[in-house]
Amino acid sequence: MQDSPLREMRSSIGFDDRDADNVRSLAGLVTPAIPALVDRFYQQLLQQERTRAIFTGGERQIQRLRDALTLWLRDVFHRVDDQAYYDRRRRIGSAHVRAGVPQHYLVAGMELIWQELERRIRDAGIPHAADKLQSLRKLLAIELAVMLEGYKESYSEQVRKVERSAVQEKLTRAQHLAEIGQLAASLAHEIKNPLAGISGAIQIIRDAMASDDPHQPIVTEMLGQIGRLDATVKDLLQYARPTPPRAGRVALDEVVTRVLTVMQEEPALQRVRIAYGRAQTDTTVYADDTQIERLLMNLILNAAHASDDGGVIDLSIASNTSHVKLIVKDRGKGMSSEVRERAFEPFFTTKAKGTGLGLTICRRIAEVHGGDIELESGLRKGTTVTVILPHSNTDKNPTATR
């Protein structure tokens, strides 16, 4: 058993050659009783509902386990101290991991085996039974330690495999998103200029038409559709090739007031009411005001689309010594937990129209400004989005360019 961990375990627990002789002397008594002992062990084990739920393979699985336990018990009393013996013991722990058996069942199972062996040995009335039982108890402790070591190693490897798989999946997804982003940027550039040309031409046609021309509504609808296409193109470009922020000192409450003024004719906002009171605290942040405007517009439009007719969107700003919080709260239909988990994923959307990039872009804007964005939502409970931005401080904002 050279260099085997068994030697170290035996030494640490005080299991010596006399103990080994004591255990071997029990072989003649215990070996004939092993089948009955195994039956008794599984009878007790299967009385527990939680234990029965683990053995999903039926009688065939239980019979295999009976056979394995029988061989293991015979090995215990005909001990072989070599690396192969140690590896066989470790594989018992690994088998429990593969079967999905919790670790504490190993400990409980070993205790049941000890109780049965102790009862049989004491009932046999053999000489020096107490001394021999003490040696057997030491050996079973070593056996359990080896099994638990195998369990730990196998479980750790299983966890590592899951983690590697998750990391690989994220890398693959990130690569795919990068490729989609590049494709989106190329398409957006190809579409952008012709779209502007089409829009300009249609506006010229519209301006040349009489005010009572029956085609006026059609032309107006065409321009509206072009406007939606242009917004989609801008979203794709912003996602694929984000512009670095040109940061300066910005009063967030002034940005909010300006955005609300600009958006007051927005169709989606005609059916809801925005409740906003100017903040009474310092709302200055170090940011690119254009990007913050874009972020706020996205959040307000999302809230409006989620609201029922006549709904209210609560808009507020709170601040402390280090951060300013911009809070947009609607009282609409809200999100399920599954949708909430994916809300910031690129291209994920539950809307019939849209790119699914709005919240993704909002989070990116918040993060490049040294901030964060949080989302709370529940079905029929509305949604609250909180954007957290640091107060104006050039030392904390290395992205500043002006």
Please write the tens of the pLDDT for every residue from 41-79. Answer: 777 777 777 666 766 667 787 787 778 778 888 888 876
Query: Is residue 193 domain-shared with residue 292, that is, in the same domain?
Result: no
> DSSP 3-state assignment of 128?
coil
Q: Is residue 85 part of a domain?
A: yes
Mean pLDDT of 21-25: 89
Query: Is residue 127 domain-shared with residue 266, that is, in the same domain?
Result: no
Handedness of CA 131, 133, 139, 141 (dihedral sign): negative
pTM of the model: 0.49
The two three-digit tokens of residue 20, written as one number? 């080994």
Residue 294: give its domain's CATH number. Answer: 3.30.565.10
Q: Is residue 294 part of a domain?
A: yes
Which pLDDT belongs to residue 109? 76
Which pLDDT belongs to residue 16? 87
Task: Pick 401 or 218 by higher pLDDT.
Answer: 218
Query: Is residue 234 domain-shared with residue 285, that is, in the same domain?
Result: no
Query: Is residue 130 domain-shared with residue 186, that is, in the same domain?
Result: yes
Mean confidence (pLDDT) of the chain: 80
Which pLDDT belongs to residue 190? 66
From residue 349, alpha-carbon distances to 14, 74, 117, 339, 355 in Å are: 65, 62, 63, 9, 7
Which pLDDT belongs to residue 197? 83
Query: Is residue 44 domain-shared with residue 157, that is, in the same domain?
Result: yes
Query: Is residue 3 domain-shared with residue 121, that is, in the same domain?
Result: yes
CA distance 341 to 398: 30
Query: Is residue 189 domain-shared with residue 260, that is, in the same domain?
Result: no
Q: Is residue 254 part of a domain?
A: yes
Which pLDDT belongs to residue 47? 77
Which pLDDT belongs to residue 395? 45
Mean pLDDT of 90-94: 67
Query: Is residue 333 domain-shared with residue 218, that is, in the same domain?
Result: no
Highest averaged pLDDT of the listed ranges 171-185, 231-245, 387-401:
231-245
Q: Is residue 97 part of a domain?
A: yes
Q: Is the pLDDT of residue 176 over 70?
A: no
Which pLDDT belongs to residue 394? 44
Where a domain ends, among 186, 210, 241?
241
CA distance 20 to 79: 8
Residue 104: give its domain's CATH number. Answer: 1.10.490.10
Query: Is residue 188 domain-shared with residue 252, that is, in the same domain?
Result: no
> What number of CA atoms fall less than 13 Å from residue 180's CA on the CB side?
12
> What number of CA atoms fall less than 13 Å from residue 82's CA on the CB side?
4
> DSSP 3-state assignment of 377?
strand
> What number of CA atoms fall less than 13 Å from residue 322's CA on the CB side?
5
Contact assessment for residue 246 and residue 287, using Cβ atoms and an 8 Å cutoff: no
CA distance 220 to 238: 27
Q: Is the pLDDT of residue 97 over 80?
A: no
Q: Is the pLDDT of residue 1 over 60?
A: no
Query: Is residue 210 domain-shared with residue 345, that is, in the same domain?
Result: no
Residue 55 DSSP symbol: -
Which pLDDT belongs to residue 331? 92
The pLDDT > 90 percentage for the chain reads 21
From residue 382, alpha-carbon distances to 292, 295, 306, 311, 313 in Å are: 23, 19, 8, 11, 10
Task: Pick 254 or 187 by higher pLDDT.
Answer: 254
Q: Per-residue pLDDT tens for 243-293?
A: 788 889 999 999 999 999 989 888 889 999 999 977 778 889 989 998 999
Q: Per-residue pLDDT tens for 385-402?
A: 999 999 865 444 444 444
Confidence of residue 177 (pLDDT cuts 50, 70, 90): low
Q: Per-residue pLDDT tens for 104-134?
A: 777 777 888 888 889 888 988 899 999 999 9
Task: Pick 178 or 287 by higher pLDDT.
Answer: 287
Where a domain ends, among 181, 206, 241?
241
Query: Is residue 256 domain-shared with residue 237, that is, in the same domain?
Result: no
Q: Is residue 257 part of a domain?
A: yes
Query: Is residue 205 domain-shared with residue 90, that is, in the same domain?
Result: yes
Q: Is residue 195 part of a domain?
A: yes
Confidence of residue 300 (pLDDT cuts 50, 70, 90): very high
Alpha helices in 311-356 (DSSP H): 337-342
Contact assessment for residue 343 and residue 353, using Cβ atoms and an 8 Å cutoff: no
Which pLDDT belongs to residue 373? 94
Q: Is residue 401 part of a domain?
A: no
Structural domains counted in the chain:
2
Which pLDDT belongs to residue 317? 92
Q: Is the pLDDT of residue 96 over 50?
A: yes
Print the domain residue range for 32.
Answer: 1-241
Mean pLDDT of 319-348: 89
Where a domain ends, among 224, 241, 258?
241
Which pLDDT belongs to residue 377? 94
Q: Is residue 402 part of a domain?
A: no
